[in-house]
Amino acid sequence: MARVAVLDDWQGIAEKLADWSVLRARAEVVFFRNAIATPDDLVQRLAGFDIVLAMRERTQFPAAVLQRLGELRLLSFTGARNAAIDTAAATAKGILVCNTAGRSSHATAELALGLLLACARRIPLGDARIRTGFFQDGVPPGLELAGRTLGLVGLGHIGGRVARYGKALDMQVIAWSQNLTEARAQELGVTRVGKDELFARADAISIHLVLSPRTRGVVGAREIAAMKRGAILVNTSRGPLVDQDALLAALDGGRILAGLDVYDIEPLPPAHPLRIVPNAVLTPHLGYVTETNMAAFYRASIENVLAFLDGAPIRVVNPELLAEDA
């Protein structure tokens, strides 16, 4: 009987959000709730499993790990792409890689809006003060967003939705990315500007880019230094898009505010300085984590395994492996 490892079930929701009974009739299914800290731990935990279901980019599968997973035959991940998996190394090892295709762009865009409002109106601080016996004392006045400028770094599906939210709040919306065209900006009623102008002009900035070698560190010390005092930086994309040291310095100095859902290291270590930094609202990478998205992810993951066991795999990322077997 096949053995299936379901990784990264950090919230303990996987078994509740999908019907695993058909798969359990054909395979042993084991759920892993805790993050696996080191490559050695990962290899040890996955010994004896020939199928692994991974959640997005929570667990890293570099070549050095894949080479040590001698029994692994199928590695399925949720979402359309996963930079944490060395697909070329998996192919070389004979491991089939599958995805679950895309997800709703609403979820992350809505969280970005929530973080923006939470920062602007100091909502978490107000909540904390009330719960500890205080009221308005210790809570600074908030920032009214209407009439302010929202800068978007990236104007794809998610950035486009956030642009619409900004316009609904009567904000002026400007945008920049390396690939942004005038036609795309005009389609959304957004003003396309240069990168330097965006960081100097915006009262709030929200990042919506895919992490790649070209975008890593795209928001660096120079960009953060150019931001207005009291401006808000929201990141629901990937932590390494932003220079963390420069961000920490700006937050420590009270120059800016930040709403962060993503980090260089996830889960965020207990002693990480972001946990105690002022002027920041932190969420634990919840951008895509809605009941709708997660249920769809797990249903598709089960479909991938069943199709694989039937000898007719679906949603294959490395189809060249199938060609070799044909």
Instruction: Report the catalytic residues.
Output: 238, 266, 285
Sort strands 27-31 and 232-235 into parallel, antiparallel or unpaired: unpaired
Q: What are phi and psi of 280, to 5 degrees?
A: -130, 140
- Within 8 A by CB and 6+ apart from 229, the residues are 255, 256
| ∠ CA 143-149-153, rounded to 5° | 115
What's the CA dihedral at 202, 234, 104, 299 to 10 degrees? 170
The 3-state DSSP class for residue 23 equals helix
**Phi and psi based region of residue 207 (left: phi greater than 0; alpha: psi -120 to 50; beta: remaining):** beta
d(CA 131, CA 118): 17
Sort strands 172-176 and 280-282 into parallel, antiparallel or unpaired: unpaired
Q: Which helix (H) or strand (E) holds 198?
A: helix 195-201
